[in-house]
Chains A and B, each alone.
Chain A
Amino acid sequence: MKSESDRTLRRPPAAWIGTVVLLLFVAILLRPCLAALAEHYRKEAIALRVPLEAFDLERLPSFLEAPPGSSFPVAPASEEALGTRHLLQRSLKERNGRGLASLTVAYYSDPHDKVPHTPDVCYRQAGTVVENLRTITIATPDLGPEYPHVQARAMTMVQDRASGVLVYLFVANGDIVPGRNQARWIIARPGARHVYFSKVEVMASIGTTGGSDSALARCEAVIREVLPVLIAEHFPRREDLWRR
């Protein structure tokens, strides 16, 4: 005859039964449930209100169009590399000075689009040495009261003995964030019917017209002037993103 301790040893503990039930639920039901939820709340693309190609540089108080091919440390990325055909790439020149900057805006709206590499990662693959990378705050009075200032990532980089400053940020479903992961969180939020995100990137070379502070100030000025135009005229309105 078996002893009490033997019977205790053989009887499955309640925690074990609970674990088995939960794992069976994961194995059999969880994935189909998640797939059904994903299908039900599937997001859709939303078009730009005005194509980026139609961006009017006359709207920028401090900059005008410069001839392409100015001396920037890194060549502008192609449509293929950026993975979108909604692209704005312009060379800018200060109206009251000789300072140059290059602006790249890439727009994505396919729900399957991945938020692209940030410049600090992908430019290194092209041979750029990142000397400094930090988060900066840029005053944007024209975006107030919602965004009186925005955060962006700024990096100092060197390639082929030319050095420059690059500032970038993301606009995701109307929110302005400095990092790729923050943009991913925003576009992953359930509820919105449509999804879009955009990477705004400004580069200025160091050396010909002042040091890195001057190049950084120029990048900040471009962001300060371009963002309000993009949000007011090009990117979809917030209210159009939600289910109705």
Chain B
Amino acid sequence: MTQQTQPDSEQAAYPALRFGVVLALWLWAFWPEVSRAAGYAASDSNWSHAWAAPVLAGALCIRRRVELHRSLTRGSWVGLLALLASVGVFASAIWPLGFGYLADVGAVMTLAAALWAVGGRRFFNRCSPVILIVLLSFPIGQRMYASLIIRPETYTMAASRAVLDTIPGVEVTLDGPDLHFVRGERTGTIALGASNRGAALLVTYAVVGVFVAFSRIRPLWALALMGLAAGPVVLAANLLRMLTWGVVTMYGSAGPVSPGPRIVASIVSLLLAWAVFLVIAGALDRLDSLRTAAQADAASSESERDDEE
């Protein structure tokens, strides 16, 4: 196994200082976008994971610090050109287009390109999960989000009705976006008045997946497989959220608009998403270690054969 050496403090100090200056300038330059995202995170639970984003990004950086330091170069002119292009995207999103989300994407592109320009391409590659987490923390506008979730929300509500209706003694009907239930003498509506009730926290589940997938250095094929699994896991977690909400509403004593069922459902579904991503990552790691061991065996038996010859 390769020995991972820690960068010595003086070697790390100058690059860290330069990156600190770049990050501070980026924050200054894009403070309106960052503060708007923070405001969204405070008011919309769909985007509250943005508060955890700095912690997650910092944790990823710490876990990858050796690889980040190793991949550091004295910068890239291509990265600088990418930075110029990103500033162009940001500027055109502000004027003449006036597309808020494109401006946010432009701001994140600028951060990515600045890291590329300062650290080089390999450093940028190592930073890409951090950039992805930052990107997923910027809120998609409500109108755009509403148009993107039409299908997942429709299918989730239909599946929730079908599953909850199989519970003995419970009758569940779907009327537009509303799930109504009758349980004995009790009637009510699940997730009454909640916006995007059938497709919430989708981005949060995805952020959990990104963090788990990139929490250690994994081969590209494993990351690709985790990427393929991410969609179904996110949708399954969303369905579980709705089912939990339904069960807690029907069997609990909370009022029709109490936040209790929503909070319980969010926690349960986030834990499920985290656990499933961990299981998938663990299985892929096991597969990778078996593959590595098989390759090592093949190499050693080949060298033994060479020695015998």
Contact = CB atoms under 8 A, between A and B. Distances in A.
- Say whether A and B bind each other: yes
Interface of A: 9-10, 12-16, 18-20, 22-27, 30-31, 34-35, 37-38, 41, 114, 117-118, 120-121, 124-130, 133, 159, 180, 184-185, 188-190
B207 interface: no
B95 A27 contact: no
Interface of B: 10-11, 14, 18, 21-22, 25-26, 28-30, 74-77, 79-80, 83-84, 87, 90-91, 94-99, 110, 114, 117-118, 143, 146-147, 150, 153-154, 175-178
A227 to B, nearest CB: 24
Chain A binding surface SS class: helix
A16 B177 contact: no
A190 B96 contact: yes
Contact of B118 (A15, A30, A114): A15
B76 A16 contact: no
A188 B176 contact: no
Given A15-B76, A189-B96, A20 B176 contact: no
A13 B143 contact: no
Given A15-B80, A20-B22, A180-B147, 7 more contacts: A15-B77, A19-B75, A22-B80, A26-B30, A26-B110, A124-B153, A125-B146
A26 B90 CA distance: 10
A128 B96 contact: no
Contacts of A124: 150, 153, 176-177
Given A15-B117, A130-B154, A27 B29 contact: yes
B83 A16 contact: no
A127 B175 contact: yes
Contacts of B28: 23, 27
* Most B Cβ at <10 Å: residue of A18, A25, A184: A18
Contacts of A125: 146, 177
25 contacts: A15-B76, A15-B80, A15-B118, A16-B118, A18-B80, A19-B75, A19-B118, A23-B25, A23-B26, A23-B114, A26-B110, A30-B29, A34-B94, A41-B96, A117-B146, A121-B146, A124-B150, A124-B176, A125-B146, A127-B175, A129-B154, A129-B176, A130-B150, A188-B96, A188-B97
Nearest to B32: A31
Given A22-B84, A125-B177, A129-B154, A118 B147 contact: yes
A31 B94 contact: yes
Contact of A23 (B22, B74, B177): B22
A37 B110 CA distance: 22
B35 to A, nearest CB: 14
A12 B114 contact: no
B29 A128 contact: no
Nearest to A118: B147
Contacts of B11: 9
B81 to A, nearest CB: 10
B176 A128 contact: yes
Given A9-B14, A120-B150, A184-B99, A20 B79 contact: no
A38 B74 CA distance: 38
A129 B157 CA distance: 11
B176 A159 contact: yes
